[in-house]
Chain A
Amino acid sequence: MTLTTLLLLAAALIGIGIYGALSQQSFVMLMMGLELILNGVMLAAVAFWAFSGAGAPEGQLLTIIVMAVMAIEMAMGFALVVAVFRGKQADMTESLTGLKH
């Protein structure tokens, strides 16, 4: 378990997350991709804190902030899913054409 291997794992999680966020048609599956990206970001932050940060507490704080971002993303995402579902009975990104040019 070195900084390099941890960062490679984080990169793999972020890569899978990017694929999911770009490829999934269902809103909630798309959100799972975003979550996976943030998962990798948190792991990278903790890895840097443990191996390169000399124990600076801001490194851990950054992870807490990313967790808060994740909670906000989930809550707002679910609320938007509820709002869209109520308005259009839709659970797929293709069903929304309102902001298409």
Chain B
Amino acid sequence: MESMNHGLGVDIAFLLLATLAVVTGWRVFRTDSMVRASFFLLVSFIAVGVIMILLAAEYLGVAMFFMMAVEMTVMALFMVMFMMNPAGLNPMNMVHQERIAIGAGVAGFLVLGAMALLATFPDQPVPAGLDPVRSLGNEMLGDSMLIFESAGLVLLTTMIGVVVLSSHRGRYGAAAEGSMPPGLEPGGDPAGKPEEDEAGEGGHHHHHHHH
């Protein structure tokens, strides 16, 4: 399948980037720090973006850089805000059903890899004179405009849904009202309870407003 005429340099670059993408992708689930995990994922995405540029899909590759840089920064912020171990100060391996998961991952790789190796795909490379960015632009604002615009509309819907889901005030009152944090140990006292609640134990003689 030597249809695309590229030099040895491209092959070497691809090999390095492919290794980088897989190794950092794997390290995402093998690092103690959740912030570091999100940056490993970013490196994996950037490696794939560079491979896309090697494949002459410049627009997609560069779009990948921008999108993933922002997404992973947001993700790192979320790690710091919500997660128990963002800095990786303690060893961490929070997994469940790990054997099934490894089996499913390996099975997925083997099935897809077998398809890559055994199936024959048509050998129709990008024509020499084609400008990929121009052709994509013509498609998005031409024949496939409805699809493109639908994607935009779905993104708008997502924004509204996200605001509704994450807002403090639900339609029926404060979102956190009546919620009880789980115990630090099974069946133990709720964690992170405000101090005044503990003082008022034994009687419900005063109510506190949630802030």
Partner pick for A13 among B2, B21, B102, B192, CB 8 A cutoff: B21
In the complex, which residues of chain B have a beta carbon less than 8 angstroms from the beta carbon of A52?
121-124
Query: From B79, which residue of chain A is reached at the shortest CB distance?
Result: A28
Closest B residue to A20 by CB, please name it.
Answer: B29
Give B163's nearest chain A residue, CB to CB.
Answer: A79
A58-B139 contact, Cβ under 8 Å, with A1-B6, A50-B57, A78-B78:
yes
Least CB distance from B167 to A in Å reads: 9
| Size category, A interface | 35 or more
CB-nearest residue of chain A to B18: A9
Please provide the chain A residues from 42 to 94 with a CB less than 8 Å away from any CB of chain B in the complex: 42-43, 46-55, 57-58, 60-61, 63-65, 67-68, 70-72, 74-76, 78-83, 85-94
Complex formed: what's the CA distance from A19 to B104 in Å?
A: 7
For B146-167 the 0/1 string (1 means CB < 8 A from A) is: 0110010011001101110110
Of the candidates B105, B130, B140, B161, which one forms a contact with A61 in the assembled complex, judged by CB atoms under 8 Å apart? B140
CA distance A4 to B191 in the complex (A): 52
**DSSP majority for the B interface?**
helix
- Which residues of A have CB within 8 Å of B98? 23
Q: Which residues of A contact B191 (CB under 8 A)?
A: 89
| Across-interface contacts of B51 in A (CB, < 8 A) | 1, 6, 9, 43, 46
Please state if B166 and A83 are interface contacts (CB–CB under 8 Å): yes
What distance in Å separates the Cβ of A81 from its nearest Cβ neighbour in chain B?
6
Task: Give per-residue flags for B1-45: 1 if the beta carbon is below 8 A from chain A beta carbons, else 0.
Answer: 111101000110010001001100110110000100110010011
Closest chain A CB from B189 CB (angstroms):
13
In chain B between 110 and 137, which residues have their CB closer than 8 angstroms to a CB of chain A? Answer: 112-113, 115-117, 121-127, 130, 132, 135-136
**Distance of A71 Cα from B75 Cα, bound (Å):** 12
Cβ of A81: which chain B residues have Cβ within 8 Å of it? 78, 82
